[in-house]
C-alpha cells in the first residue's frame, strides 16, 4: 500500500516518539483508517528507511548481578557460584547443582540452596516447566532468590547444551 507524504510524515513522527511496530499498526488503523498486517508495517518502516527505537528492556537477574560485580578483579572467578565446592552458600548467594542423571520423567533435575541456607530439589519437565520441591514444606524462598536461582539455572543448563 502506498502512503502519501502526510501519512509518511505521521509514521516518521510515531517512530520518533518511540512507538513499537504493533502500536504503529494500531495507529495506522485508528488514525488513518489504513489496515496493514504487522509484516506490511515492518516493510513500510524499512521502505521509509526508519529504524524503530528499541525500548530499554528490564534487566534480568544475570544483568543485575554483572552490574553489581562490575569488571573482573584479577584472580577472581566470574562463575563463583557454579564452581563452588562446598554445599553451604555464602550469605546472599544461591547455589545450583545439576544432577548427572535426571530424575525419572524430567529432562533435567538437581538441587538448589537459597541464601537463607534452606534447600530444595528442582526439575525441568518435558514441557519446559520448572518445578521446585522444598526440603521443608513451609519454606518459601524470597523473590530475589528465585530470580537468582532461575538465572543461575539457565547458565548451568546452557553449559550442558540445553
The single residue listed with the C-alpha cell 540452596 is: 113
DSSP state of 55: P
Cross-strand partners of 9: none
**Which strand (E) or helix (H) includes residue 67?**
helix 61-69
Cα–Cα distance, 31 to 36 (Å, whole number): 13
Rounded distance, CA 30 to CA 71, Å?
Answer: 48
Per-residue pLDDT of the chain (162 residues; tens, 9 = 90+): 678 888 889 888 988 888 888 888 898 889 888 888 888 888 888 888 888 775 555 655 555 555 544 444 444 444 434 443 444 444 458 999 999 898 888 989 999 999 888 999 999 888 888 888 998 888 888 889 899 999 899 888 888 887
Per-domain residue ranges for the chain?
5-47, 61-159
Amino acid at each position: 500500500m502506498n502512503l502519501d507524504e502526510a501519512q509518511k510524515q505521521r509514521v516518521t513522527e510515531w517512530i520518533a516518539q518511540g512507538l513499537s511496530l504493533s502500536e504503529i499498526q494500531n495507529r495506522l488503523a485508528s488514525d488513518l483508517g489504513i489496515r496493514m498486517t504487522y509484516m506490511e508495517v515492518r516493510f513500510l518502516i524499512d521502505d521509509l528507511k526508519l529504524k524503530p527505537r528499541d525500548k530499554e528492556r528490564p534487566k534480568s537477574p544475570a544483568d543485575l548481578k554483572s552490574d553489581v560485580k562490575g569488571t573482573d578483579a584479577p584472580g577472581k572467578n566470574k562463575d563463583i557460584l557454579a564452581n563452588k565446592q562446598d554445599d553451604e552458600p555464602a550469605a546472599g548467594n544461591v547455589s545450583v547443582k545439576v544432577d548427572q542423571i535426571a530424575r525419572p520423567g524430567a529432562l533435567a533435575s538437581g538441587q538448589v540452596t537459597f541464601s537463607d541456607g534452606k534447600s530444595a530439589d528442582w526439575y525441568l519437565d518435558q514441557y519446559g516447566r520448572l518445578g521446585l520441591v522444598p526440603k521443608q514444606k513451609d519454606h518459601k524462598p524470597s523473590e530475589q532468590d528465585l530470580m537468582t536461582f532461575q538465572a543461575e539455572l539457565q547458565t548451568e543448563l546452557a553449559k550442558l547444551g540445553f
